[in-house]
Amino acid sequence: MKKAILMMTFGSPEEISFEGVAEFFTNIRRGVRPQDHEIQTLYDNYVRIGGTPLQRITREEVNLLKERLGEEYGIY
């Protein structure tokens, strides 16, 4: 029987663009799209701090787990 590990993040957009931030902001508001000025404010904040490494770090963790745990585990 194959075992599985599910890796999840919650807290950052996939890409730092106006539409990427809009999609993320809409998702965390249960599908309700914020007004453009709210999206712009959040986008500006991400740009100001240089984006977020959360997605990249999680992908790196997935790759390391795959290397270390091998075929016995499915890492998702």
* Residues of the chain predicted below pLDDT 70: none
CATH number for the domain whose boundaries are 3-75 = 3.40.50.1400
Burial class from Cβ neighbours inside 10 Å (0-12, 13-18, 19+) for residue 40 reads: middle
CB within 8 Å of 39: residues ≥ 6 apart:
18, 21, 22, 25
pLDDT of the residue at 29:
94
Residue boundaries of the structural domains of the chain:
3-75
| pLDDT digits 0-9 by tens, 19-39 | 999 999 999 999 999 999 999
Q: Are strands 3-5 and 73-75 parallel, antiparallel or unpaired?
A: parallel
Tell which residue, 47, 60, 61, 62, has the closest CA to residue 13: 47
pLDDT of the residue at 14:
85
pLDDT of the residue at 74:
92
pLDDT of the residue at 75:
92
27 Cα distance to chain centroid: 11
